[in-house]
Each structure stands twice: as C-alpha cells, then as structure tokens.
Structure 1
Amino acid sequence: MIPVQVYNGQKVAVLGLGRSGLASAAALRAGGAEPICWDDSPEGRARAEAAGFTCTDLTKQGAFDDIAALITSPGIPHLYPAPNPVIAAAMAAGVPVDNDIGLFFASWATPEWQNFDIAPRTICVTGSNGKSTTTALIHHILTHAGRSSQMAGNIGRGVLDLDPPEAGEVVVLELSSYQTDLARALTPDIAVFTNLSPDHLDRHGGLGGYFAAKRRLFSEGGPDRAVIGVDEPEGTYLANQLAVSRSDDRVIRVSAARKLGDWGWSVFARKGFLSEWRKGRQIASIDLREVTGLPGAHNHQNACAAYAAVRALGIAPREIEAAFHSFGGLPHRSQTLAEKAGVRYVNDSKATNVDSASKALQAFKNILWIAGGLGKEGGVAGVKPHLGTVKKAYFIGHSARDFALELAPLDHEICETMEAAVAAAARDAQTGDTVLLAPAAASFDQYPNFEKRGDHFAELVAALPD
C-alpha cells in the first residue's frame, strides 16, 4: 500500500466504494487521515463498513463543513454531462476534489528515497486504443530484462494498492481519460500517448474535451520523456507542443502508418518491421511479423510505443525483441484462443467501438466476423472501408439488425446470441479462415462487461471439436 501523506489528522471524504474507492480509503487511513465514505448503493456502503470505515451521507446539508478534500472514483462524472450532486456540493463548498491518481503522485516519493542509489520511476500510458496492451507489454519487457516493475491503474491493481517501491523500480500505469481529467497531481517520468479516436464524448463534452483530458498527463505532468503516437492530428499537435525543435529527443514520435522524418528520436513500423531512428540514423530494426502476441498494424503501434518507452530507460533493442516474442498478449485483445481444423479463433471482445474493430479487421485475412451488442452513437458504418477481408458476418445482440442494414450488402447472418454465432461461424469456416469476435459495440445488452462476453466466446470455442 502507498500511504497518503498529505492529509494527516484531517477528515477526507471518499465517494464511490468500488476497488479504487476502498483502496483510497485504506491509503488515507494508513497516512493518518480519517476517511468519511459514501456510496449511493447499500452494497457499496456495506463493503466499506465491513472494512471498518465510517459511512456518512454526503448528500446532506453541511456534509462538507469539516472536510479537507473529496476523493472520487473515476466513473463518477464531475462536469459533463452533469456533475454528481455530491461533487457539485463539494465544489460549491470550496472543497478540493481529487482522485486516487492524484493521491498516488502526491504520496509516491518518500524521504526513504534519499537512501536509494537509483530513484523509482513511473511510466504512464494513455490514449484511446491500445493502452492496456502497451502497458502490459512495457511491464513484460521490464520483467524480462530483470528490472523490478509493478503494473497498476486502469489495469491490474489500484495505484494505492501498490507496494512501496524498491530502488530503481519502475511502476507502469495505464490511465484513462476519467483518471487524468481530475487528478490534481500528475508527475510521470515517461508519458505515452497511443492514439485518439472518439469515445466517452458525453463525459467530456465532445472530442476536444476528451483530448484535453488526455493532454493533461503531458501539460500538467511535464514528463522527462514523452512518447507520442502521431498517426492522428491530435498526436501531431501534442508532439509539436512539447518539442522545442525537430531535434528535441525528449519527444519520441511513434507511427504505425508511415516512415517518420528526420526527428531527434522516432520509432515507426512499416510492412511489419519496427525501426528506431535517432538524429537521422537508424539505430535498430525488429521484424514484428512473426510476433504472435502482437498481430496487426494496431498492435505494431503498441509495440512501437512500448519499445520507445523502455528504450528511454536504456533497455537494449535485442532484449526488447526477445521480450516481444515471449509476450502472450492480453485476454480479449486480439487474443488467439485456438486453431481447430485449420481455423483460427480470435477473441477481441475489447473492440467495443468502430475504430478498434476496424483495426482488428485489418489484422487478419479470410474473416468470419462476429459483431454486435449494444451499438454506440454514430453507428457502425465506419468499418466499411475495412470489410474487404470479411467473408461473412454473424450479428448478435440488440444492434444485430441495425448492423446488418448499415453494412449491406455484406454477406451476413442474424444470430442474436453468441451460441448461435459461434456455431454458425464454425459451420461455415474452412481451412485458413479466422473466426474473429470484434463486436464494435458495448456488451451491456447481454453481458455485464466485455470480459464476460469474451469469456463466453472462449468457452464456446473450447467446446468445439478439434
């Protein structure tokens, strides 16, 4: 646990008692603060009380009279589409609002660090797609290279659940826009921006607000190194804002779409090969085509970002290449489940929007595509340019018929359920085909989350005959 250092002897309110909320309350208590907890659900309050915390209704008049700060969970809106009433009351009372990420960075460094030969460091990863894979890949490379490392944030453990760091340890954090938007302290040593595509627009008041939330990791944090994906205009803009010249190697530009020019430092992937360039010279090259855990251009972008981040720590290219080949990928993200009768089955249940589904469709050939669920604003027509590899689609869930209409004349079958879709795809599949679950939709019509959807797909695939 990372004890919170900044509120010793003070009362601090905690709103939302899921994983991050309870971890925040425990870390506040460990640092000498008195956490005052609240959750709209009786189940959340019961969990907190079972852990020995006091629950007080923060919606009541005067609830913030003697409160030093309010710590809120990432999923609770603080501005758009409307502030949560408890957060609005705290702001009206002049009480600072923060989250666990802000507490972490305010409490991360301790006086014990003066005895370390090498100070601990943090690598923070944000962006729209690829954050989890990039974060896990960085952690994997560091572990493979024998560097002490922990991983947390939007993946794995909550940040305040981390163990106090050892000398030279590297903590790798995946940070969502919900987390970067509100954190009052953001001081990464290395910050990574993967890419940007429309998502969570209602929460951020539009695409500009969404990008601004991501940008805070760089503008507020002032990292020593910034790894920036420049395949979208926002990344190009961000890199331009951070660099003082073309030769400024504090900014490492990353692309999976083109060869980058004569920058101070760049890493890019073309035709399956990763290249590192510094000051006009190629430093290293890695063949990504046979790296089974990182299929497709979108994963090559993730590989470039992870490569750049660990190169900034001095990890050698050959060590990185070896780690790439031992990386198994993450569940539900272009995850190869099995090959049966010459047919590959791939679980990309995390592809919940058009952009991520399009990237999955570009990563494989001869695709039998399982898609659908609870469709998102804007529909699914954005995948049309990437349907050339799709032999047939099998639509499920609430938006099955909407998908069929939007993507006509694509050969398709309305299956509605995952069971029917897997059975139909397995029936039609021939040697060399890939059955791909890349829903391009949320899961909430049939499943509580994308993980459960992917797990169900995996169970059905496992039950198919070899």
Structure 2
Amino acid sequence: MIPVYGYEGRKVAVLGLGRSGLATARALEAGEAEALCWDDSVEARETAEAEGLTIHDLTKADAFEGVSALIVSPGIPHLYPEPNKIIARAWDAGVPVDNDIGLFFRSLGAGDWMDNDTPPRVIAVTGSNGKSTTSALIHHIFESAGHRTQLAGNIGRGVLDIETPEEGEVIVLELSSYQTDIARSLTPDVAVFTNLSPDHLDRHGGMGGYFAAKRRLFAEGGPDRAVIGVDENEGRYLANQLVEGFEDSRLIRVSSGQKLGGPGWNIFARKGFLSEWRKGRQAASIDLREMSGLPGAHNHQNACCAYAAARALNLPPKVIETALASFKGLPHRSQLVGELNNVRYVNDSKATNVDAAAKALQAFPRIRWIAGGMGKDGGISALQPHLGAVAKAYLIGFSARDFALQIGDTPYEICETMEVAVAKASAEAEPGDTVLLAPAAASFDQYPNFEKRGDAFVAEVEKLM
C-alpha cells in the first residue's frame, strides 16, 4: 500500500467505493487521515463499513463541513454530460476534488523509498487503443530483464494498493482519460501516448475534451521523457508542444507504418521490422513478424511504444528484443484462443470501437468476422475500407442489423448470439482462415463488460476443440 501523505489529522471524503475507492480509503487511513466514505450503492457502503471504514452521507447539505478534499472514483462524471451532484456541491463548498491517481503521485514522492540510491520510477501509459497491451508489455520487459516491477492503474490493481516500492523498482501505470482528466498531480518519469481515436466523447464533451484529458499527463508537471505516437495529428501536435527542437532527446517519436526521419530519437515499425534511429543513425532493428504475442500492425505500434519506454530507462535493445519474443499477449486483445484444422480463433473483444476493430481486421489475411453489440455513435461505416480480408461477417447483439447496413458488399449473416456466430463461422471456415471476434461495439446489450463477452467467445471455441 502507498500511504497518502499531506492529509494527516484531516477529513477527506471518498466518493465511490469500488476497487479504487476502497483502496483510496485504506491508503488515506494509513496516512493518518480520516476517510469519510460514500457510495450510492447500499451494498458498497456495507462492504466498506464491514472493513471498519467510516460511512458519511455526502448528499446532506452540511456534508463538506470540515472536509479538506473530495476523492472521486474514475467512473463518476465531473463535468460532462453533467457534473455529479456531489462533486458540484464540493465545488460550491470550495473543497478540492482529486482522484487516486493524483494522490498516488503526490504521495509517491514523499515516501521513505525516495531516499534509496535509485528511487522508484514510474512509466505512465495513455491513449485510445493499445494502452493495456503496451503497459503489460513494458511490465513484461522489465520483469524479464530482472527488474522488480509492478503493474497498476486501469489494469491490474489500484495505484494506491501496490506494494511498497523497492530500490530501483519500475512502476507501470495504465491511465484512462477518466483517470487523467481530474488528477491534480501527474508526474511520471516516462509518459507514453499511444494514439487517439474517438471514444468516451459524451464523458469529455467531444473530441477536443477527450484529447485534452489525455494531454494532461504531459502538461500537469510533465514527464522527464515522453514517448508519443505520431500517426495522428493530435500526436504530432503533442510532440511539437513538448520539445525545443528536433534534436531534443526528451521526446521519442513512435510510428507504425511510416519511416520517421530527422536528427531526433525515432522508433517505428514497417513491414514487420522495428527500427530505432537516433541522431540520424540506426541504433537497432528487431524482426517482429514471428512474435505470436504481437500480431498485426497495431501490436507492432504497441511494441514500438513499449520498446521506447524501456530505452528511455536505458535497457539495452537485445534485452528488450528477448522480452518481446516471450510476450504471450493479453486476454481479449488479439488473443490466440486456439487452432483447429488450420483455422485460428482470435479473441479481440477489447476492440470496442471502430479504430480498434480496423486494426484487428488488418492483422490477418482471411477473416470470418464476429462483430456487433451495442453500437457507438457514428456506426461502423468507416470500417468499409478495412473489410477486404473479410470472407464473411457474423453479426450479433443489439446493433447487428444496423451493422449489416453499414458494411457494403461484405457477405454477412445475422446470428444474434455468440453461440450461433461461432458455430456458423467455424462450420464455414476454410484452412488458413481466422475466426476473429472484433466487435466494434460495446458489450452492454448482452454482457456486463468486454471481458465477459470475450470469455463467452473462448467458451464456444473450446467446445470445438
């Protein structure tokens, strides 16, 4: 646990008692603050009370008297589509609002571990797609290299729930826009921006607000080194904002698909090869093509980002290459579930938006595509240029019929359920095909989350084996 420093003897309200909220309350108490906890859910309040935490009704008019700060869980909207009423009340009362990420960075620098010869270092990863795989890959690289490392944030455990950092430890954080948007302190040693595509737009009031939330990781305190994916204009803009000139080594530019030039520090992947260039000279090259845990151009971008983060902390290229080759991938993210009769079954349930699905559809030569669910604003018409490898689409969920109208001349079948879709796709698949779950939609019409949807796909595939 990371005790929260700076609130000793003071009252701090905690709104939302899920995983991060409970960890925050415990960390506040460990730092000798008094945590006042609230959640709209009776069950959540009972769980907190059973731990000995203090329940404090934040809906009451005088709830913020004597309170020094309000710490909110990431799922609670603070501005768009409209402010949570309790957060708005804290504003009116002049009570600072923060989250566990802000408390983490505030407290990490105040711990005894900072007196080590080599204090712990933090690599924080944000972006629209690939940030989970990139974070897990960075963690894997340092672990494979013999470094103590922990993975937390939007993946793994809550940031305040990690173990006490040790000498030279590397802490890897995956941070969503929900987490970066409100944190009052963001000071990683290395910050990574993978890419940007439309997502969570209602929560951020549009694309500009969404990018602004991501950008805060690089503006609120600022990292010592920044790794920026420059395949979109937002990444190019952000990279330009962070440096004094092309040769500024605080910036590592990353791309998948284009060769990056100039005297700066550049890492890119083309035709399956990762290349590192510094000061106009090639420093390293890695063949990614046979790395089964990193299929497709989108995973090559993840590999470039992870490689860059590791190089920023001075790991040698050969050590990183060995670790990349042993990476097995993450569940629900281009996960190879199995192979039967020379047909591969790949679970990319995390491909919940058009951009992520497009990347998955470009990773395999001939595809039986399972898609659908709760469609997002804008539909999937933008996927039409990426459907060339799709032999047939098998559409499920609430938006199945809407999707059928948006995929042009691609053959399709309305399957409704995962069970029917997997059965149909496997029956019609030919040797060399890939049965790919890349929904391009949210899961909430049929499943509580993308993980459960992916589990359903895996369960149906396992029936075939």
Within 5 Å, which residues of 2 pair with 1:126-141? 126-141=126-141
Quote the Cα distance in structure 1 between the aligned partners of 2:420 and 2:71. 45
Aligned to 1:460: 460
Aligned to 1:205: 205
Quote the Cα distance in structure 2 between the aligned partners of 1:13 and 1:74. 15
Over residues 334-356 of structure 1, what are the superposed CA-to-partner deviations in whole Å (9 max), with x where a residue is unaligned? 00000001100000000000000
- Tell me: CA distance 1:111–1:399, structure 2 relative to 1, closer, same or farther (3 Å): closer
Aligned to 2:269: 269
- Tell me: CA distance 1:96–1:462, structure 2 relative to 1, closer, same or farther (3 Å): same
Aligned to 2:386: 386
Aligned to 2:189: 189
Aligned to 2:29: 29
Quote the Cα distance in structure 1 between the aligned partners of 2:184 and 2:100. 10
Quote the Cα distance in structure 2 between the aligned partners of 1:359 and 1:221. 33
TM-score, length-scaled by structure 1: 0.99
Quote the Cα distance in structure 2 between the aligned partners of 1:56 and 1:133. 38
Quote the Cα distance in structure 1 between the aligned partners of 2:122 and 2:263. 25
Aligned to 1:371: 371
Using the TM superposition, give the Cα deviation of residue 114 of structure 1 relative to its aligned residue in structure 2, in angstroms: 5.5
Gaps of 5+ in 1: none
Aligned to 2:86: 86
Quote the Cα distance in structure 2 between the aligned partners of 1:406 and 1:28. 50
Local SS of the residue matching 1:406? coil
Does the 8 Å CA contact 2:113/2:165 hold for their aligned counterparts? no
Quote the Cα distance in structure 1 between the aligned partners of 2:277 and 2:296. 22
Aligned to 1:151: 151
TM-score, length-scaled by structure 2: 0.99
Quote the Cα distance in structure 2 between the aligned partners of 1:149 and 1:444. 34
Local SS of the residue matching 1:208? helix
Local SS of the residue matching 1:118? coil
Quote the Cα distance in structure 2 between the aligned partners of 1:114 and 1:334. 38
Using the TM superposition, give the Cα deviation of residue 213 of structure 1 relative to its aligned residue in structure 2, in angstroms: 0.5
Quote the Cα distance in structure 2 between the aligned partners of 1:289 and 1:365. 14
Aligned to 1:438: 438
Aligned to 2:302: 302
Q: Which amino acid aligns with 2:11?
A: K
Does the 8 Å CA contact 2:384/2:408 hold for their aligned counterparts? no
Aligned to 1:73: 73
Does the 8 Å CA contact 1:38/1:58 hold for their aligned counterparts? yes
Using the TM superposition, give the Cα deviation of residue 117 of structure 1 relative to its aligned residue in structure 2, in angstroms: 1.5
Quote the Cα distance in structure 2 between the aligned partners of 1:281 and 1:449. 45
Over residues 10-32 of structure 1, what are the superposed CA-to-partner deviations in whole Å (9 max), with x where a residue is unaligned? 11100000000000000000100
Using the TM superposition, give the Cα deviation of residue 111 of structure 1 relative to its aligned residue in structure 2, in angstroms: 5.1
Local SS of the residue matching 2:404? helix
Task: Decide which moves more: 390-399 or 41-50.
Answer: 41-50
Using the TM superposition, give the Cα deviation of residue 263 of structure 1 relative to its aligned residue in structure 2, in angstroms: 3.4
Within 5 Å, which residues of 2 pair with 1:59-458? 59-110=59-110, 112-113=112-113, 115-458=115-458
Local SS of the residue matching 1:35? strand
The total of aligned residue pairs comes to 465
- Tell me: CA distance 1:386–1:95, structure 2 relative to 1, closer, same or farther (3 Å): same
Gaps of 5+ in 2: none
Quote the Cα distance in structure 1 between the aligned partners of 2:117 and 2:220. 27
Quote the Cα distance in structure 2 between the aligned partners of 1:221 and 1:24. 22
Does the 8 Å CA contact 2:257/2:271 hold for their aligned counterparts? no
Q: Which amino acid aligns with 2:190?
A: I
RMSD: 0.8
- Tell me: CA distance 1:12–1:84, structure 2 relative to 1, closer, same or farther (3 Å): same
Local SS of the residue matching 2:286? strand
Quote the Cα distance in structure 2 between the aligned partners of 1:113 and 1:340. 51
Using the TM superposition, give the Cα deviation of residue 65 of structure 1 relative to its aligned residue in structure 2, in angstroms: 1.1
Local SS of the residue matching 1:71? strand
Does the 8 Å CA contact 1:345/1:434 hold for their aligned counterparts? yes
Quote the Cα distance in structure 2 between the aligned partners of 1:229 and 1:408. 31
Does the 8 Å CA contact 1:196/1:234 hold for their aligned counterparts? yes
Quote the Cα distance in structure 1 between the aligned partners of 2:439 and 2:451. 12
Task: Decide which moves more: 53-62 or 108-117.
Answer: 108-117
* 2:49 is the alignment partner of 1:18: no
- Tell me: CA distance 1:296–1:214, structure 2 relative to 1, closer, same or farther (3 Å): same
Local SS of the residue matching 1:27? helix
Q: Which amino acid aligns with 1:166?
A: E
Quote the Cα distance in structure 2 between the aligned partners of 1:338 and 1:408. 30
- Tell me: CA distance 1:308–1:358, structure 2 relative to 1, closer, same or farther (3 Å): same
Does the 8 Å CA contact 2:8/2:32 hold for their aligned counterparts? yes
Using the TM superposition, give the Cα deviation of residue 266 of structure 1 relative to its aligned residue in structure 2, in angstroms: 0.6
Over residues 111-130 of structure 1, what are the superposed CA-to-partner deviations in whole Å (9 max), with x where a residue is unaligned? 52354111110000000000
Does the 8 Å CA contact 1:120/1:168 hold for their aligned counterparts? yes
Does the 8 Å CA contact 1:418/1:457 hold for their aligned counterparts? yes
Quote the Cα distance in structure 2 between the aligned partners of 1:109 and 1:209. 29
Q: Which amino acid aligns with 1:271?
A: K
Local SS of the residue matching 1:325? helix
Q: Which amino acid aligns with 1:457?
A: F
Q: Which amino acid aligns with 2:255?
A: S
Over residues 128-169 of structure 1, what are the superposed CA-to-partner deviations in whole Å (9 max), with x where a residue is unaligned? 000000000000000000011001000000000011110110
Quote the Cα distance in structure 1 between the aligned partners of 2:159 and 2:187. 14
Q: Which amino acid aligns with 1:68?
A: S
Task: Decide which moves more: 403-412 or 225-234.
Answer: 403-412
Quote the Cα distance in structure 1 between the aligned partners of 2:77 and 2:263. 39
Local SS of the residue matching 1:227? strand
Q: Which amino acid aligns with 1:188?
A: P
Quote the Cα distance in structure 2 between the aligned partners of 1:390 and 1:240. 38
Over residues 253-276 of structure 1, what are the superposed CA-to-partner deviations in whole Å (9 max), with x where a residue is unaligned? 000020001132010000100000
